[in-house]
Amino acid sequence: MTVTSTALLDVCDVDVRLGRGRHARRILRDVTVSVRPGEIVGLIGETGSGKTTLARTILGLTAPERGRIVIADHETSALSPRRRREFRRGGTVQFVFQDPLRSMDPDRTVAQSVAEGLQASAEYGRISRGEIDRMVDDALRLVGLDVSLRDHRPAEISGGQRQRVAIARAVVCRPRLLICDEPVSALDASNRNKILRLLADLRDELGLAILVIAHDLSSLAGIADRVLVLYRGEIVEDGPIAEVFRRPRHPYTGLLLASAPTTGERPLDPVRLRVVRDDVTRDADACVFAARCAFATDACTTRPRDVEIRPGWRVACHHTDTWWDAAVG
């Protein structure tokens, strides 16, 4: 699949706070993300890093405090809540939930679940009942399911089949952008690989732009073109996935890779990487990772600039070129 040069999704310098008054917490800070048509981008980070908040912000379910979100030339962040809902109903962006069993109505059949995204349009007379049935069957075939499952309920099919139904429900509207929130975390290894391959096939066949949220780096290695590394609400590394896996430029990316040593050419010692420091300030002006970084210095008391080390590869670290040698020893 050819990746175009013009972004379908542009998230520019987005800040998000949740809560009110003195209880408000900044969840995302200066986040910039782009996804182009035909591109699969992985978004990784540990629990609580802000991945799901970023997805909700892109979908228009959470309003940013600052920054711009542009999807298919529509600045959705500037729309009123009502207009954002209308944009979502248009089907340009679709979402695949982490746990399909919890996201689907247990009393609805497979066909009814897949048709949910189309029924709003049917109510306005734009799509006939017969056309909905045809589109549902086409979507089931597209994700590798037999149409004989259309009358089954979620509890009557396997976990891998349920995830395919969730994906069919998303692509039945023929979206341009698909956001998948840890789509394989609830599956066994065999089904995990099949679902990831399905996403890559859908990208190739439909020209989708896909943002895949994950905490397992190895699951992205075979399908993603780029990887975004999110830590405590900030993007610390954004680069081509094969090269990032071969030689990460941020210590936090290295720490994630150390949990899956087979993804890199040189072994990383997690003991050398996983250090909690008490001698580095934790205030807002410091590097967001400094208090956990084994390689932090006095320079890390100031927030690093987001530096482009080469076209298409950006890193926010004061020690981009030096920490690696110390880590691999």
Looking at 246, 270, 297, which one is the last position of a domain?
Answer: 246
Domain boundaries, position 266 = 248-328
Domain-embedded: residue 27: yes
**Within 13 Å of residue 172, how many CA atoms lie on the same side as its CB?**
32
List, for residues 121-145, the tens digit of each pLDDT value. 655 467 788 889 999 999 999 999 9
Predicted local distance difference test score (pLDDT) of residue 99: 79
Percent of the chain with pLDDT over 90: 56
Predicted local distance difference test score (pLDDT) of residue 269: 59
List, for residues 37-60, the tens digit of each pLDDT value. 999 999 999 888 999 999 999 999
Residues 6+ apart with CB under 8 A from 164: 143, 144, 145, 195, 198
Q: Please check whether residues 5 and 85 belong to one and the same domain.
A: yes
Looking at 218, 246, 274, which one is the last position of a domain?
Answer: 246
Beta sheet of 313-315, edge-to-edge order = 93-96, 177-181, 209-214, 40-44, 226-231, 234-240, 313-315, 307-310
List, for residues 198-248, the tens digit of each pLDDT value. 999 999 999 999 999 987 777 788 899 999 999 999 999 999 999 998 889
Predicted local distance difference test score (pLDDT) of residue 261: 46
Q: Please check whether residues 303 and 200 belong to one and the same domain.
A: no
Q: Please check whether residues 299 and 230 belong to one and the same domain.
A: no
Number of domains in the chain: 2
Residues 6+ apart with CB under 8 A from 312: 226, 239, 240
Q: Please check whether residues 233 and 256 belong to one and the same domain.
A: no
Q: Please check whether residues 213 and 256 belong to one and the same domain.
A: no
Q: Please check whether residues 181 and 70 belong to one and the same domain.
A: yes
Predicted local distance difference test score (pLDDT) of residue 188: 83
Q: Please check whether residues 41 and 181 belong to one and the same domain.
A: yes
Looking at 246, 277, 304, which one is the last position of a domain?
Answer: 246
Predicted local distance difference test score (pLDDT) of residue 291: 85
Return mean pLDDT, the chain: 87
Q: Please check whether residues 86 and 1 belong to one and the same domain.
A: yes
Q: Please check whether residues 197 and 88 belong to one and the same domain.
A: yes
Q: Which 8-state DSSP code applies to residue 177?
A: E
Tokens of 262: 């087979």
Name the pLDDT band for 4 (thresholds 50, 70, 90): low
Domain-embedded: residue 127: no
CB atoms within 10 A of CB 123: 9
Average pLDDT of the residues in 85-105: 84
Q: Please check whether residues 303 and 221 belong to one and the same domain.
A: no
Question: Which CATH number characterizes residue 73's domain?
Answer: 3.40.50.300
